Structure 1
Amino acid sequence: MPPSSPLRVALGGDHAGFPLKQVVAQRLGSPDMQALVTEVLDCGTNSDQSCDYPDFAIAVAREIIQGRADRGIVICGSGVGVSVAANKIPGIRAAICHDTYSAHQGVEHDDMNVLCIGGRIIGSELAFAIIDSFLGARYEPQERHQRRLDKVLEIERLGLKSL
């Protein structure tokens, strides 16, 4: 089920993700995406010059945490680095998804708010399908999903003290 209103999406990536980020940005801004996306916030990078993936995970997360974006997409070479970095930020639930099922299930069950993609792993057509699945999904707070999410949020809040 699609979101009740179009989303504001923060998009970022490092040099390895730059080529895919560019085509993703173009597609997200196209008229075909207006039902899902109302605004795209470009968080860089803006070239293929070597740069550090944590900077872009932080930039995308900042947009979400400060309420300027509803969801985020971060692209690096494998998707691993941006996922690790983004998940260090309280309030961010990020995952690498290279298939459509994980992309929508991560939102529906785990309230995932950042999609991580490997620009050297998948091509643009698969990326578009994954992004559509991610953006079209809504969190479904069924009892078992909420119970599990509450445990994750408690870990985030207390760290190892909660274990």
Structure 2
Amino acid sequence: MKIILIGYMGSGKTTIGKELSNQLSYNFLDLDHYIEKAEGKSVTKIFKEKGEVYFRKRETYYLNEILGVNENYILSVGGGTPCFGNNMELINKATKNSFYVRTDLSDLCERLLREKDSRPLIANIAEGEFNEFIAKHLFERSFFYNQAHHTVHNHGKSISAVAEEIIQCLV
């Protein structure tokens, strides 16, 4: 069984994925970490040195590589992964267990403001424009996120409660 978590950056996909991994005893993979290991450099460095177009092409390549593995795992993908190329289609063909981890805008802005420097897409957004940028970006990406087979809303829920909700939906 493949469980794939999608959603905007800062939504908690990695944390939820690790909790699911503990509860189900499945391997957990984070696509960004997988890419960093394969490329030998951080996502931030890839963006700086080779640009977003290069990164997105490699992201699709590595996503296909992981989706081709025939074993049980939980995969957390980057916030932009479903929005480029045919990645969302690839995800939904590979499993009936794609989950959009939906997070309220206010929660995202609060979390991401603290992590701003470590996230290449928002590192240079001025604080006064930050919330508007996140809102617009989330709106643009929601078309892709809403193509997931399931949606879990994590506002006000513990990580284990969200993981349990996902487990209840598995097909």
Structure-2-length-normalised TM-score:
0.38
More helix as a share of residues: 2
